Amino acid sequence: MQCIVNRRAQFSASHRYWLPELSEAENIEKFGACFKFPGHGHNYVLFISIAGELDKYGMVLNLSDVKQVIKREVTSQLDFSYLNDVWVEFQQTLPTTENIARVIWQRLAPHLPLVRVQLFEHPELWADYMGNGMEAYLTVSTHFSAAHRLAHSQLNNEENYEIYGKCARPNGHGHNYHLEVSVKGEIDPRTGMIVDLGALNQAIEDYVLEPFDHTFLNKDIPYFAEVVPTAENIALYISNLLRSPIQELGATLYKVKLIESPNNSCEIYCTDLESDTASLGQQKPVLARI
C-alpha cells in the first residue's frame, strides 16, 4: 500500500538578499530591508514528505533513519549558519525560502523517496517544492475581519433560515478570516525568487485587505449584494481579484485558502478554473471544504 509520511525538522539561520553586481541603490530597490548588512535570521521549520510501499513492519522507512539523513545532509549544516556562505548553491542563487526548499530537495533526493519539501520561513510565509526543475510554490498568510449574512436575495426570511440557520439572522455576524494565497512560478536563477514578495503583499493589500477589512460584506462589497458571501464565494471572488495582478508580477495564482473559523475553511485551486471565462458567475470552481 502506497503511503506518504511527513517528517518535521527545524534550524535557525540568517541570510541576506543582495547581489554584488548591483549598486546599493539597486539592491535596496529590489530587496528592501532584506538587503541590510549583515543580514537577518529566521527559525525555519522544515517538513519532508516521503512516499513508498509499507514494509512488513508497517513503515515506509524507519523514521529514525529518516531523521538521521535529514540531520546529516541538511540541519546540521544549516543550523546557526549564514546561508549565503554555507552552501555553494546559495552563492549562485540567493537563499530565498523557495530556493532553500529546492536545494534541500537536491541534497536529500539521493537518500530519500521525496514527494515534497515544505519550508516555513515564519508562520505567515512558506514555500513548497516538488522536484519539478525550477518551479516552486510560495504561500503568504494574512487576515482580515469582516461581517456577513448568509441569505439569498430571492428567498424570504423563512426560506433563508431553513437553508442557512442562524447565519441568516438580519444583523449578520462576523469572523476573523485567515487568508492564504499561494502562487507558483519559476525560481529566478540569480535572485532565487518566483515573485517579488513585497509586490505580492502589496497586491493582496490593495485588492483584498484594504477593501474587505472591517466591512459588512453584503453591504460594502457590491459583488455580495446579490451573491451570498459564503466562505466559498468569498474565496472564489478573491481568486478573481488576484489572478491578473499576480500574473502581472510574473507568477501564477495557484490556490486561495480562506479559513472562516477553526472548524470551517475552503480552498480554491485557481489553475483549474476556466481562464477565459468573462463572468464570475459562469466560472466552475474546484472547492475543498474542510
Q: What are phi and psi of 156, to 5 degrees?
A: -85, 175
3-state secondary structure of 233: helix
Pairing of strands 264-269, 125-129: unpaired
CB-count exposure of residue 86 (10 Å: 0-12, 13-18, 19+): middle
3-state secondary structure of 272: helix
CB-count exposure of residue 222 (10 Å: 0-12, 13-18, 19+): exposed
The single residue of 15, 260, 266, 267 carrying the catalytic annotation is 260
CB-count exposure of residue 115 (10 Å: 0-12, 13-18, 19+): middle
Q: How many Cβ atoms sit within 10 Å of the Cβ of residue 245?
A: 16
Helix, strand, coil in percent for the chain, rounding step 5: 35, 30, 30
Is residue 167 among the annotated active site residues? yes
The single residue of 143, 167, 178, 186 carrying the catalytic annotation is 167
On whether the CB atoms of residues 121 and 92 are closer than 8 A, the answer is no
The single residue of 40, 122, 173, 214 carrying the catalytic annotation is 214
Is residue 270 among the annotated active site residues? no
56-60: long-range contacts, CB 8 A cutoff, minimum separation 24: 59/5, 60/3, 60/4, 60/5, 60/113
Torsion sign over Cα 222, 226, 227, 228? positive
Active-site residue list: 167, 214, 260
